[in-house]
Structure formats: C-alpha cells, structure tokens
C-alpha cells in the first residue's frame, strides 16, 4: 500500500516538476524586468492554462499534498537520522505552501478578478508589514522544493558512494537557496524597478 502510494507520489511529482521548471524560469526572467516576465507568462499560459492541462496539474497538486502528508505522517515515529527528517519536513512545508499558494492564485482569479501575474505575488512585498511574511514564505517554498528533490536524489545514489550521496542533496539545496533569494529580491523590487498597480496593493489594504 505504502509502496503504491510512494510510486504514485513520484509519478505525480514529475508532472508538477515539469510545470515548476517553466514556472520558475518565468519568475527568473523577471530579473530582466516585469514586462519580460509578463510576455513570457503570456506564452507559457497558452500551454498550462489549456483546460485539460490545468485540470491535470491541479489534480496532481491535490494528490501530491494528500499523498505527501500521508507518507510523512505514516512513518513519523520510525524516522531516524537527518535525511529522513529533512525529506519529511521539506515535504510537509511544500504541502502547506502548495495548498496556500494555489488556493491564493485561484481566489485571486475567481473572486478578486485579478490577472495573477508578477504583480499578484509582488504586492505583498510592497505593503508593510507583509514583506516580513512573504519573503520567508516564498524563499522557503522554493528552497523546500529543491531540498525535497535533493533528498529524493540522495536515495538513488548507492550508500557506498558517500560523497556522491551528500552532493546529491547539497547541490540542489545550494541552487535552491540562490534561486529563492534572487526571486524574493526581484519581487521586492531590489534588482529591477517594480511599480505595483493600486488594485493589487488594495488586496492588502495598501
Ligand atoms: C518565488 C516563487 C513563486 C512565485 C512568485 C509564484 C507565483 C505564482 C503566480 C503569480 C501564479 C499564477 C500563474 C498564472 O496566473 O498564470 C502561480 C501559480 C502556480 N504556482 Fe507558483 N510561484 C512561486 C513558486 C512556486 C513553487 C515553488 C511551486 C511548486 C512547488 C509553485 C506552484 C504553482 C502552481 C501549481 C500554480 C498554479 C498554476 C495554474 O493553474 O495557474 N509555485 N505561482
């Protein structure tokens, strides 16, 4: 039962990772300016906003949260050592992050009638005191993703290659931390100018 759940968890992760590569690339191009980000998003949405594609992605997100939390809770007492705990804790954070993040995007679109582009995420960085909440929230979302993927890679490397095993998790964590920092600085307008329109700031009473 746990083996089937784990296999399905990995399969659904592949769909999410495919989207997230495009998604994070989309956010990285914001370093060149918000207009570049918005143009990239327009092209990317032509793919992931196709009803069939988006339904599959959202179903995978829901399943990932459910299966991840079940796997984490099931082995809670038996877990021993740093790696199993790093995998479980980064997974639990990702489950919370994905639920809140995708829920907020859907709410922004359906209820607030906002275009959920760069400004939707950036608004919280431009109305005090929300930067104190959103900086760690986004940083940890990206960092937890890379840490969790690194932990998965760790188990694929044979235990005999100790250095290779450590690198399998350490390298993604370093890349994740650098990427997360750049994305947070970009949203905060500390790399390129960001002028958040009033309708986005208004969602935080700004
Ligand atoms: C700095 C980091 C991030 C920012 C600023 C961000 C921002 C956004 C924005 C603005 C959207 C709406 C996209 C649209 O309307 O087309 C979105 C959607 C989404 N994001 Fe993120 N995101 C970040 C990281 C992540 C991570 C790490 C994950 C996964 C672990 C993720 C998963 C998703 C998913 C599944 C959607 C829904 C796609 C859809 O159906 O529209 N995001 N994000």
pLDDT digits (tens, 9 = 90+) for 115-172: 999 999 999 999 999 999 999 999 999 999 999 999 999 999 999 999 999 999 999 9
- Is the preceding peptide bond at 6 cis, omega within 30 degrees of 0? no
- Dist CA 101 CA 58 (whole Å): 12
> Closest Cα partner for 118 from 192, 41, 66, 177?
41
Residue 2 has pLDDT above 80, yes or no: no
- Dist CA 166 CA 24 (whole Å): 25
Distance 173 CA to ligand 1 centre (A): 20
Distance 107 CA to ligand 1 centre (A): 13
Q: Residue 148, exposed/middle/buried by CB under 10 A (0-12, 13-18, 19+)?
A: buried
Distance 27 CA to ligand 1 centre (A): 9
pLDDT at 86: 97
Show the ligand 1 pocket: residues with CB < 6 angstroms. Answer: 20, 23, 27, 41, 45, 54, 57-58, 61, 94, 98, 101-102, 105, 116, 120-121, 138, 141-142, 145, 183, 187
Domains and CATH numbers, the chain: 2-204 (1.20.1300)
């Amino acid at each position: 039962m746990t083996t089937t759940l784990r296999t399905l968890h990995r399969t659904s992760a592949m769909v999410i990772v495919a989207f997230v590569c495009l998604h994070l690339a989309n956010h990285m191009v914001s370093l060149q300016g918000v207009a570049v980000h918005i143009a990239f998003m327009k092209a990317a949405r032509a793919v992931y906003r196709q009803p069939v594609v988006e339904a599959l992605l959202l179903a995978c997100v829901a399943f990932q949260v459910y299966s991840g939390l079940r796997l984490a809770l099931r082995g809670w007492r038996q877990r021993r050592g740093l790696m199993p705990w790093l995998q479980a804790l980064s997974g639990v954070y990702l489950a919370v992050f994905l639920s809140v993040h995708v829920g907020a995007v859907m709410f922004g679109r359906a209820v607030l009638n906002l275009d959920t582009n760069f400004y939707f995420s950036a608004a919280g960085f431009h109305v005090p005191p929300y930067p104190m909440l959103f900086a760690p929230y986004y940083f940890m979302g990206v960092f937890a993703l890379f840490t969790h993927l690194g932990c998965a890679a760790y188990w694929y490397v044979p235990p005999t290659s100790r250095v290779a095993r450590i690198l399998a998790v350490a390298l993604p964590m370093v890349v994740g931390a650098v990427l997360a920092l750049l994305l947070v600085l970009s949203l905060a307008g500390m790399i390129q100018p960001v002028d958040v329109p009033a309708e986005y700031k208004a969602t935080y009473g700004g």
